Amino acid sequence: MSVNIKVLKALHGDCLIITFGPKQDKFILIDGGIGKECYRSIKEFIKSLKEMNATLRLLILTHIDSDHIDGILRLFSESDFDTKIIDRMWFNFGEFLDKELKVSRESQKSGILLPDETTLISWKQGNNLEEILKKARIQYEKAVKNYDEFYIDGSYIRVLSPSLEILKAFNKQWMVENEQEVRISTKTDYSFSIEELNDMEFIENISLANRSSIAFIFEYENRKALFLGDASAVEIEKSLSKLGYSEDNQLEIDICKISHHASKHNTSNNLIRMMKCKNYIISTNLTASGRPTKECLSRIICNSKQAVNFYCNYEIDFNTIFTKEEFGKYEMKFITIDKSGINLEDLPR
């Protein structure tokens, strides 16, 4: 077992653990999710590290949205939490990033009311976590941006997002959010066919906070996984293109964590065509905002050259989303991930 990925039950958020190494004793934690069950799982994971006398080789906070940062903020707020268990951290936020980018924020912490309470909470949480990190004297990487490369215990990480330009825009605008995605429709798209949804114009309508999301390729012993956070499809396409990938020269990966909980605004036909991938992770429960969207999954199904497998961290009845005829025609499978996670070497290619 070379690489294992656990996808914690984080409601509509993300929290993933990568385990790798000859002795399976190297760990990377991606985001902290949201909800009591997720936080209990994080606490159990940290406890297991202590029992193994191991450390967290890397903690990645992809961006500051509440459904990604909540569990980490709670963990760091625990009076008995020993920050020495974390070796490295990625966190593109705050005054440290301001100095690195040589930018100043146009708004102050208390200056602007956002149109969405969740977004407001995210900004507050980002500030709170920044203060905790300062007090604990935890060092985190300078601006983590596309094309950066990292080598950790035999693994190789190539960052695809965000770009330096997006990071600068994100920090300059501070608490200003002009995007309309916060006003999400509660309607689902299940009544449309796979073909109809695949043929719809792709509209990327996502927040600047999501555009700032860290996305990367993780590689270890010839196994590759793509983790997209809530990143922009257009930005990922640009990065892959610059690295030489295209529809004719696809990025070959074992598995991909779908961006933004399978929102229709973060997965394009062009992006899927640039990848050779049979296995995809859906990190979300069935939400009131219609995620996972059938449009996102349809684009993956139609633009892959082989039947695909979707690995879900919640049990979702996809028979209510896809018809019997669609299952028969496209042969996609939906698999619920158990607590043992996903072993990449066991995945079909």
Domain harbouring 72, CATH code = 3.60.15.10
- Enumerate the β-bridge partners of residue 5: 18, 342
- Token pair of 267 as six digits: 């997965």
In 3D space, the residue among 26, 29, 100, 38 whose CA is nearest the CA of residue 71 turns out to be 38
Kindly compute the dihedral angle of the four CA atoms of residues 68, 282, 17, 95, in this order, to the nearest 10 degrees.
-30
Contact 231, 215 (CB under 8 A): yes
| pLDDT for position 339 | 93
Q: How far apart are CA 206 and CA 183, in angstroms?
A: 11
Closest CA relative to residue 29, chosen from 82, 71, 1: 71
Number of domains forming the structure of the chain: 1
Residue ranges making up the domain that contains 126: 3-346
Query: Across the 349 residues of the chain, what is the mean pLDDT of every consecutive 10-residue run?
Result: 93 97 97 97 98 97 89 89 92 77 57 40 66 73 92 98 92 55 65 98 91 97 97 98 99 98 97 99 87 97 98 96 98 97 95
- Let me know: does 327 contact 310? Beta carbons within 8 Å: no
Confidence (pLDDT) at 182? 44
Name residue 59's amino acid. Answer: L
In this predicted structure, what is the pLDDT of residue 300?
99
CA quadruple 87, 119, 236, 95: dihedral positive or negative?
negative
- The phi, psi pair for 181, rounded to 5°, reads -65, -20
DSSP annotation of 311 reads E
Strand partners, 149: 158
Looking at residue 205, its pLDDT comes to: 87
Per-residue model confidence (pLDDT) at position 186: 57
Tell me which residue of 206, 151, 196 sits closest to 298, measured CA to CA: 196
Q: Which residue bears the tokens 């007090």?
A: 135
Return the pLDDT at 289. Answer: 74
For residues 23 and 20, give the distance between their C-alpha atoms in angstroms, rounded to a whole number.
Answer: 8
Are residues 16 and 30 in contact, defined by beta-carbon separation less than 8 angstroms? yes
Instruction: Give the chain's count of helices (H) and strands (E).
Output: 11, 16
Helices (H), 149-221: 164-173, 194-199, 208-211
Residue 166 · residue 211 · CB < 8 Å: yes
Query: Rounded CA gap, 15 and 142, in Å?
Result: 22
Alpha-carbon span 261 to 291, nearest angstrom: 7
DSSP codes of every residue in 113-180: --S-HHHHHHHHHHHHHHHHHHHHT----S---TT-EEEETTEEEEEEE--HHHHHHHHHHTT----S
pTM: 0.91
Whole-number pLDDT of residue 123: 59
